[in-house]
Amino acid sequence: MTGTLTGSNLARMRQGCYRVLAAGFDRPAPDLTERIRSGILALEDLGLGMFSFAPQLRKWDESLESAQPEAVSNEYVRLFGSGMDGALCSLIESQHLGVNLVGDPARYAGRIEDLMRRSGFEAQLDDRPPDHLGVELELASALCDAEANARAGGDAAESWLRWQQELIDVMAMWIPGLASTVGERDKVGVFRTLSQAASAFLIHEHDIVRMLIDSVPGGPE
């Protein structure tokens, strides 16, 4: 390992991290665990080990390997499924933050929709609101994809990074809190390690995106 990355590869690696984390918060499906684990393996090939959040992603991978699929499915429903009083740990930002006032949940969702619109994306119709953790992570992944393409074309991708920073600032407001709530309540361990990995990755993203923006050069080619 040389320790040298192209900017495009770094964006691809970050994109992959967002995608596997988003998949981790998906409803459990028969082959989901295998897809996630092969995703993490692919990230290792892209140089995951060089980054500070690698131990947390590896711990998640280990807990996926050792957990019983049925127990994971049941725990997902217990933690994130909506009961009479809402989910034990809501994956929806406005619900997690306890926003109950009329109109406020729409404001939270609208913020993500507005970011999607400005960056040229549109959510496919499903039953998740725009401020769902999975949607936010997938949007971040899409922004990384656009950044990687821009970099591959020789562009510094500053506008993509700025949108990414905006989204990270939103996620940083609630994902660490969600991680600690899930950590306290998860009985199986998979979602505790997953939310810790998401939190660690987000802390890293918060810093690395800011540094990438700060280092966008205005100098000559």
Q: Which residues bind another protein (CB under 8 A)?
A: 1, 3-8, 10, 47, 49-56, 58, 151, 154, 156, 199-200, 203-204, 207-208, 210-212, 214-217, 219-221
SS3 104: helix
We find the least distance from the C-beta atom of residue 21 to another protein, in angstroms, to be 14
**3-class SS string, 121-140:** CCCCCCCCCCCEHHHHHHHH
Q: How many CB atoms lie within 10 A of CB 195?
A: 27
We find the least distance from the C-beta atom of residue 140 to another protein, in angstroms, to be 17
Measured from the CB atom, the residue of 6 and 38 that comes closer to another protein is 6
Token reading at 49: 């080990």
Measured from the CB atom, the residue of 9 and 73 that comes closer to another protein is 9
Identify the residue whose tokens are 């966008």: 216
Measured from the CB atom, the residue of 14 and 132 that comes closer to another protein is 14
We find the least distance from the C-beta atom of residue 169 to another protein, in angstroms, to be 13
Measured from the CB atom, the residue of 119 and 199 that comes closer to another protein is 199
Measured from the CB atom, the residue of 30 and 217 that comes closer to another protein is 217
We find the least distance from the C-beta atom of residue 170 to another protein, in angstroms, to be 17
Measured from the CB atom, the residue of 29 and 216 that comes closer to another protein is 216
Token reading at 152: 């591959």
The conformational region for residue 120 under phi > 0 = left, psi -120 to 50 = alpha, else beta, is left
Torsion of CA 51, 169, 96, 72, to 10 degrees: -20
Under 8 Å CB-to-CB from 203, ≥6 apart: which residues?
Answer: 53, 172, 176
We find the least distance from the C-beta atom of residue 150 to another protein, in angstroms, to be 10
CB 190, CB 183: distance < 8 Å: no
We find the least distance from the C-beta atom of residue 66 to another protein, in angstroms, to be 17
